[in-house]
Structure 1
Amino acid sequence: MTHHFQTRVYYEDTDLAGIVYHANYLKFIERARSEMVREAGISQTALKAGQGIVFAVRRMEMDFIAPARFEDDLRVETLLVGVKGASFDLDQTVWRGADRLYAAKVQVVCLTDSGRAVRIPADIRQKLVTFQQ
């Protein structure tokens, strides 16, 4: 199941040319990932408080295809493409209507408070796979 997140481009997201500044795509896809995790029934605050683990981006590959502009309505699609022991991989795409603007391959790792990779707990893994292709 693909997760969908709607957002709009605000003036603060743009550069002098009126197009989305490249770093702001990271904000859009981060918000979408956070919402996907929340909608899967995972409270990241509770996960940190109860088990001392957090999710962090380990690797990302990005492709800037076409510019988004001020006041564009955007849709971020997030698809879980795989879960490994301590990490999961996502494909995230930003769309304006039928136009594909940006694509990212993202690897997220599960970490302890000390920053060491740790296996994703079975109950969390089960919740995540609801968004797997």
Structure 2
Amino acid sequence: MQDKLTDSVTPQPWRLCKRVLPQHTDHAGVMWHGAYVAWLEEARVEALAAAGLSYSAMATMGVEMPVVAMNLEYRRSIRHGDQIVLESHCGSQSGVRWPWRSCFLLDGLVMAEARVELVILGRGRLLRQPPEAVRPALSALQGGPSNTLE
């Protein structure tokens, strides 16, 4: 088990900085599991927007990317007030799935890791290939940002 992140998830990960607020925690001040899921989604939405495509534009096209699998491994407790950096990488399409890998970092320490798989639906039907209008953004997602999201 890796304790300190010495190599990024990817040479250019997507980054989202978040502070743990009271609404993210349980009564003991520990980050609630549902907040992890919400932050993972926020990171994907923000990365896609930075790559040139908003989720609302995708919805207008009739395209969705629902989560079909998720694995979240907790290593250390994240607590109220912690400033977390969520580093994410969009992998290459594998069959119909689009994998994401993310790390929740506190001062360079890996607090949790997540693997999320999405599929692309067009008007409710599973698509083996993304629509032409979505391809440039998905390609940009795989390459990582030129700067970080804050």
Asked whether the two chains share a fold, i.e. TM above 0.5, the reply is: yes
Q: Unpaired segments of 5 or more residues in structure 1? A: none
One-letter identity of the residue aligned with 1:28:
W
Q: Does the aligned pair in 2 maintain the 1:55–1:109 contact within 8 Å?
A: yes
**Is 1:43 the counterpart of 2:54 in the alignment?**
yes
TM-score (norm 1): 0.89
The aligned length equals: 131
Gaps of 5+ in 2: 1-11, 144-150
Deviation sequence 1:25-57 (CA, Å, 0-9, x none): 1111111111011101012212221x2111111
Q: How does 1:1-133 map to 2 (within 5 A)?
A: 1-49=12-60, 51-84=61-94, 86-114=96-124, 116-118=125-127, 119-132=129-142
Deviations 1:8-40 (A, max 9, x none): 100111112211011211111111111011101
One-letter amino acid of the counterpart of residue 107, structure 1: E
Q: How big is the shift at 1:85?
A: 5.4
CA RMSD of aligned residues (A): 1.6
> Structure 2-normalised TM-score?
0.80
Check whether the contact 1:2–1:132 (CA below 8 A) recurs between aligned residues. Answer: no
Q: 1:126 Cα shift?
A: 2.9
8 Å contact from structure 1 (residues 64, 103) kept in 2 = yes
Identity %: 24
